[in-house]
């Protein structure tokens, strides 16, 4: 079965650079979530989109922005990167219109800021 796809899997950037992470949800899923997970920490919710509209916002810094496109893929744009942004970034998708809220996670993008 198709799963959530994230790219790139690994990314190394320098401080103050920008990064774009991409997420392709499971086909026909209508909701996408972005999470940031530091070492030994639980996933921190950043932002979510339902049917291409922002549905919820968590602890996403102002330096970050995200959007969901017409084909349902989503991009997380990160600017003015800081060392503390080094983390695993997960994208998850779900079919909320189906009444279930199980989130299926992608493999993650490991971002290292040097």
Q: Does 101 participate in binding other proteins (rule CB under 8 A)?
A: yes
Q: Binding-site residue total for other proteins (CB under 8 A)?
A: 22
Output the CA–CA distances (angstroms, integers) from residue 84 to 8, 21, 30, 61, 81, in the order listed: 19, 17, 31, 12, 8
Pick one of 8, 38, 58, 98: the residue that binds other proteins (CB under 8 A). 58
Task: Verify binding: residue 51, other proteins, rule CB under 8 A.
Answer: no
Cis preceding-peptide flag for 8 (omega within 30 of 0)? yes
Which of 5, 7, 22, 45 lies at the binding interface for other proteins (CB under 8 A)? 45
| Cα distance between residue 67 and residue 75, in whole Å | 6
Which range of residues in 15-23, 59-67, 73-81, 98-106 is near other proteins by CB under 8 A?
A: 98-106
In the block, tokens 């950037």 appear at 13
3-state secondary structure of 53: strand
Among 5, 73, 75, 104, binds other proteins (CB under 8 A): 104
- The yes or no reply on residue 24 touching other proteins (CB under 8 A) is no
């Amino acid at each position: 079965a198709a799963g959530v796809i994230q790219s790139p899997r690994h990314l190394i950037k320098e401080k103050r650079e920008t990064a774009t992470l991409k997420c392709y949800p499971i086909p026909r899923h209508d909701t996408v979530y972005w999470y940031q997970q530091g070492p030994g920490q639980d996933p921190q919710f950043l932002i979510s989109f339902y049917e291409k509209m922002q549905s919820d916002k968590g602890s996403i810094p102002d330096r970050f922005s995200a959007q969901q496109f017409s084909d349902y893929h989503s991009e997380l744009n990160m600017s003015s990167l800081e060392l503390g942004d080094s983390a695993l970034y997960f994208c998850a998708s779900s079919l909320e219109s189906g009444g279930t809220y199980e989130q299926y996670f992608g493999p993650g993008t490991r971002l290292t800021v040097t």
